[in-house]
Amino acid sequence: MRAVFPGSFDPATRGHLDVARRAAAMFDEVVMCVLTNPKKTGRLPLAERLALLTDMTSDLANVTVDCSAGQLLVDYCRAAGIGVIVRGMRTPRDLEHELPMAQTNRHLSGLETLFVPTNPAHAYISSTLVTATAQR
């Protein structure tokens, strides 16, 4: 079975890598899909995010990296033959945000969402925090 691990990955963190590794152990293939919103400007250029993810996951034979701009995740999954969305959960607040989206995705397309609790060692690392620290 194929799964997608979507996100902005702006930048990718050790927490993202932990979730990708765990998902890779559960699925035949995991696609880390960088989602972009044409109305938002990312911190890192798309090409840099893709290269970073490719490098980070180079030892995971069943993990690939892709991107999707401006299309609904359910449409991307339908076109790619993907049946499961993987989402990392750091805090209860993440669940509050992700649960309605998971329910909507299931209603729209039948896609299931697998919530993967983050390793406690990475629970308080966020892309925003990494970027803020790097700018200092």
Give the catalytic positions in this structure: 16, 40, 90, 127
Concatenate the DSSP letters of all residues of the chain into one string.
Answer: -EEEEEE--TT--HHHHHHHHHHHHHSSEEEEEEEE-TTS--SS-HHHHHHHHHHHTTT-TTEEEEEEESS-HHHHHHHHT--EEEEEE-SHHHHHHHHHHHHHHHHHH--EEEEEEPPGGGTT--HHHHHHHHT-
The answer to whether 68 is annotated as binding is no
The answer to whether 48 is annotated as binding is no
The answer to whether 98 is annotated as binding is yes
The answer to whether 39 is annotated as binding is no
The answer to whether 127 is annotated as binding is yes
The answer to whether 40 is annotated as binding is yes
Enumerate the known binding-site residues.
8-9, 16, 40, 73, 87-90, 98, 122-128
Enumerate the known binding-site residues for substrate.
8, 40, 73, 87
Enumerate the known binding-site residues for ATP.
8-9, 16, 88-90, 98, 122-128
